Structure 1
Amino acid sequence: MKPVFQLAGASVHFGRPATAVRALTDVTLTIAPGERVALVGANGCGKSTLLRLLHGLARSTAGQVAHDPDARQAMLFQRPHLLRMSVQGNIALGLWLRGTPWVDARVQALAALARVGLEDLAMRPARKLSGGQQQRVALARAWAINPQVLLLDEPTASLDPHAKREVEALIEEFSNQARTDPSSHMTLVFASHNLGQVKRLASRVIYLEHGRVLADLPVHDFFGGPLLQTHYPAAHLFVKGETA
């Protein structure tokens, strides 16, 4: 199968050349269908910029960025943007914009809400929901389009512990379903400060520092064994909690 994403020396700089902020520098990586990739590192290391680059919301200033043009993508942000309309309407609108007739879109929206346990709130104003409920609506909106690539930017960072567990359980459920369905191959790429969450959800971990990829390892090598300490000292210090 062809890669979902392939980056070769990709860089993203913001501002004028003389004073540009280097958000990403010389990033080279390949992500295959079905991988569950966690992006970790301190604040400002480039995780969000990398996600935006993968989703087409940021442009590279150098290098090459290739993606599978046939793969349906959805991205969730730390604070989801919901329109001033009902919960059902927020999901149906996204489907309608993709060409689904409005009547069918509303039916599919209800099915998506049932998937995340919020069908009883379909007619509630979306912006009146709690943070955890809003993130579940955002997940339902993503799930409704049957994405093959799901990008998540700190999806549980601003939630209380109970809401975090609910949202994480849904992400894991979506990912597990994709792994057991040979026709799905859903690819998950997410940024997280929660290393426990990374252990639970990821199969591969990419560590960034100052916009550069300093480690790219299977999750069991990132969190166990001598490989990280020996070959990736900066990432080792991060895992030990000795970097901010």
Structure 2
Amino acid sequence: MSGHSKWANIKHKKGKADALRGKITTKISREITIAVRMGGSDPTGNMKLKLALSKAKANNIPKDNIQRAIQKGAGALEGQSFEEITYEGYGPAGVAMMVSCLTDNRNRTAADVRHVFSKYGGNLGATGCVGYMFQQKGVFAVSKETGVEEDDLMMVALEAGAEDIKNEEEGFEIVTTPDTFDDVEKALADAGIEVEMAEITMIPDTMAELSAEDAERVQKMLDVLEDLDDVQDVYHNADLPEDDEE
């Protein structure tokens, strides 16, 4: 799930990964396979593959699973043919949502996603109905436990082309454009700065403030969407309390 707090997201995703290890492995393996089919098996110059491999490492996906996914993408092994689809719509209280999917059956996935939107009082819309509310950005999370000083981090990141650095309670959040993502990642690595999380995601221009009741409904809907086999990620503009995402 992609909301406004990267630290809440890290806790949320790690918790779900521990509880749903098999499902997480399947989803990331699909992502790797698609990335290889689209851009080849060399992560150099293949941003999708590079990010998928980074996600696999962060979630402790076994090397055998990663290798099989790469081989499927390269055509060395037989496998299902998946396609990328993004559904857009509104959840409870008018929260904007973009649901990123990888599927081998478009009709099944559309029906599953539509059912969740309907069940929780949302509505699926046409492509582009909420997409204009989000911007694609690169995001790095650096824990304060690494001991890095804010001034040093700012110097490294900004000189490499980062747009912004946010000082949050648990760590620093570095925001880049997709084009400067690689440069910032390399600069951080060269400086010996350990990154807790790195991803290219969709960041909302504005956040929707919710009542406690609506926030609970939105969180339940997000959890159900993320549990669908074909759903890779859900981007939204709900300003959810961090306690609800841990």
Q: TM-score range by the shorter chain?
A: under 0.3
TM norm structure 2: 0.26
